[in-house]
């Protein structure tokens, strides 16, 4: 599409049921895990979003035969032909780094580009590289390219200096085929890690300590194929939950893992949202006059940075001044200046924003999405603004939300993906 943008005509009151798709951030490492075996891997509940299509392309370049149909991905990588990710792919897609650990573990050689600059802030990969080097990889960084080689990787005892989601995933994938035992300490606890571990166990990996900060991995010589279903997307679910809690909306969100959303659920309860929670679905009904809140992002199980922009949109409809602090990424407030263009009243301080509940009507405008989650937050705000809004750089939304315009249209929104 040429210069795609999202067109919204508001205000829209949303009503109905929405089904949550598979988790992008679980599907990406699980797809990278398929590199570790010569056997067939079948993954279900794969969301058909742009980031997944890029991972598919990278795996095909390595030599994999892949089919992706209605969320089912079948993959076979009998022989690794070209373990290289070209700069054009890496520069727009950070998940390329997830292929480094498994390529080294199975193939002993990989060349991937340094993941490109990211609009949400510094996204270092020093823990990934440090861990792999300790396992015996020889890693050279030349300009933008990471070239790494090794004999069989060796088990290590490594403590992450800080919690890293993809860092934990990369070292787990490297360790499962390494010689001997690996102990990884201070690992991330995000549900996507547990999903990766479940998939690896189904392939024959020996991993102990799932859902704890410390993992023990006994390397095996080879892994078999598997048939595995990816968890549902807690960030997509959280986005629709926040949308449903906005005034005059009434949604049922289906396919939710409630345990993955407990921090968001307690924040919503705190400000007075009434929720009807069932085993794997939540009904939420938005109303005006709810209490303001303070939210600070932190690694799981605390409030996710990936919902920070969306809760900022929700705060615009609360009574009084809310506060939202970002503790994971140092530049993840770019939605603020775009929300102001709709007439919202927000003040950005260093790593926090003060959000004044709506006193006047929001009005449609031309906006630019800086990143994936910011684009969702702009859609949420624009749906409540009067008149037409165009959100440019729509590619960002398509990177991680499966068919969001279509799902919103089914709930009554006047929203279209258009191009110029
Ligand atoms: N960090 C380091 N060194 C490292 C790795 C991380 O200093 O080697 C720092 C980062 O600079 C950052 C913090 O640690 O300040 C956390 O980064 P983390 O490594 O946990 O983030 P990530 O693994 O690159 C994943 C998700 C992000 C999500 C973060 C935090 C995937 C593919 N990406 O990124 O998802 O925001 O964890 O939960 O899983 C999104 O989906 O919109 C998204 C950005």
Distance 401 CA to ligand 1 centre (A): 18
Q: How far is CA 395 from the centre of its chain?
A: 15
Using pLDDT thresholds of 50, 70 and 90, give the confidence band for residue 117: low
Residue nearest to atom 20 of ligand 1 (CA): 164
> Average model confidence (pLDDT) for the chain?
96
Give me the half-sphere count of Cα atoms (radius 13 Å) on the Cβ side of residue 228.
Answer: 25
Rounded CA-CA distance 236/234 in Å is: 6
Question: Is residue 328 lining ligand 1, measured as CB closer than 6 Å?
Answer: yes
Using pLDDT thresholds of 50, 70 and 90, give the confidence band for residue 385: very high
Place of tokens 């503790």: 327
Question: Is residue 397 lining ligand 1, measured as CB closer than 6 Å?
Answer: no
Q: In this structure, are residues 397 and 404 in contact, taking their beta carbons and an 8 Å threshold?
A: yes
Ligand 1 atom nearest 372 alpha carbon: 42
Distance 307 CA to ligand 1 centre (A): 14
Residue nearest to atom 1 of ligand 1 (CA): 124
Distance 399 CA to ligand 1 centre (A): 16
Q: Is the pTM for the entire model greater than 0.85?
A: yes
Question: Is residue 306 lining ligand 1, measured as CB closer than 6 Å?
Answer: yes
Question: Is residue 400 lining ligand 1, measured as CB closer than 6 Å?
Answer: yes
Question: Is residue 310 lining ligand 1, measured as CB closer than 6 Å?
Answer: no
Residue of 33, 165, 192, 395 to test ligand 1 pocket, by largest number of atoms within 8 Å of CB: 165
Residue 139, pLDDT above cutoff 90: yes
Residue 360, pLDDT above cutoff 80: no
Question: Is residue 150 lining ligand 1, measured as CB closer than 6 Å?
Answer: no
What residues are annotated to the active site? 118
Residue 164, pLDDT above cutoff 70: yes
Chain segment 25-77, per-residue pLDDT in tens:
999 999 999 999 999 999 999 999 999 999 999 999 999 999 999 999 999 99
Question: Is residue 330 lining ligand 1, measured as CB closer than 6 Å?
Answer: no
pLDDT, residue 376, reads 98
SS (H, E, C) 130-161: HHHHHCCCEEEEECCEEEEECCCCECCEEECC
Rounded CA-CA distance 281/300 in Å is: 21
Neighbours of 288 (CB within 10 A): 12
Nearest to 272 by CA among 253, 245, 312: 245
pLDDT, residue 282, reads 98
Residue nearest to atom 16 of ligand 1 (CA): 164
pLDDT, residue 359, reads 66
Ligand 1 atom nearest 123 alpha carbon: 11
């Amino acid at each position: 599409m040429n210069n795609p943008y999202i067109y919204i005509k508001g205000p829209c009151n949303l009503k109905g049921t929405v089904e949550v798709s598979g988790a992008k951030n679980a599907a990406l490492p699980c797809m990278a895990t398929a590199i570790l075996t010569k056997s067939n891997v079948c993954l279900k509940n794969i969301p058909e979003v742009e980031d997944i299509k890029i991972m598919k392309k990278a795996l095909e370049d390595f030599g994999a035969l892949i089919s992706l149909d209605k969320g089912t991905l079948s993959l076979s990588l009998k022989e690794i032909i070209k373990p290289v990710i070209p700069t054009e792919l890496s520069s727009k897609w950070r998940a390329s780094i997830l292929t480094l650990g498994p390529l080294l573990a199975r193939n002993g050689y990989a060349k991937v580009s340094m993941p490109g600059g990211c609009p949400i802030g510094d996204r270092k990969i020093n823990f990934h590289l440090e861990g792999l080097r300790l396992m015996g990889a020889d890693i050279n960084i030349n300009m933008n390219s990471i070239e790494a080689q090794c004999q069989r990787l060796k088990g290590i005892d490594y403590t992450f200096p800080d919690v890293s989601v993809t860092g934990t995933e990369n070292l787990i994938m490297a360790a499962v085929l390494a010689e001997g035992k690996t102990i990884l300490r201070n690992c991330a606890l995000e549900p996507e890690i547990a999903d990766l571990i479940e998939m690896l166990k189904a392939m024959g990996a020996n991993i102990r300590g799932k859902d704890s900060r410390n993992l023990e991995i006994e390397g095996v010589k080879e892994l078999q194929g598997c048939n595995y279903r990816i968890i549902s997307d807690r960030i997509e679910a959280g986005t629709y939950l926040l949308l449903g809690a906005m005034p005059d909306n009434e949604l049922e969100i289906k396919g939710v893992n409630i345990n993955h959303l407990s921090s968001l659920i307690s924040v919503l309860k705190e400000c007075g949202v009434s929720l009807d929670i069932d085993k794997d679905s939540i009904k939420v009904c938005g109303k005006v006059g709810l209490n303001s809140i303070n939210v600070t992002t932190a690694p799981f199980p605390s409030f996710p940075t990936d919902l920070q922009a969306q809760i900022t949109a929700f705060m615009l409809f609360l009574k009084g001044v809310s506060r939202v602090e970002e503790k994971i990424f140092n530049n993840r407030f770019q939605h603020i200046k775009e929300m102001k263009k709709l007439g919202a009243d927000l003040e950005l301080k260093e790593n926090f924003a003060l959000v004044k509940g709506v006193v006047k009507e929001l009005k449609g405008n031309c906006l630019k999405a800086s990143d994936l989650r910011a684009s969702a937050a702009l859609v949420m705000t624009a749906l409540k603004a009067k008149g037409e809004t165009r959100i440019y750089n729509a590619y960002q939304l398509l990177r991680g939300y499966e068919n969001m315009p279509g799902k919103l249209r089914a709930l009554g929104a006047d929203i279209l993906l258009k191009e110029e």
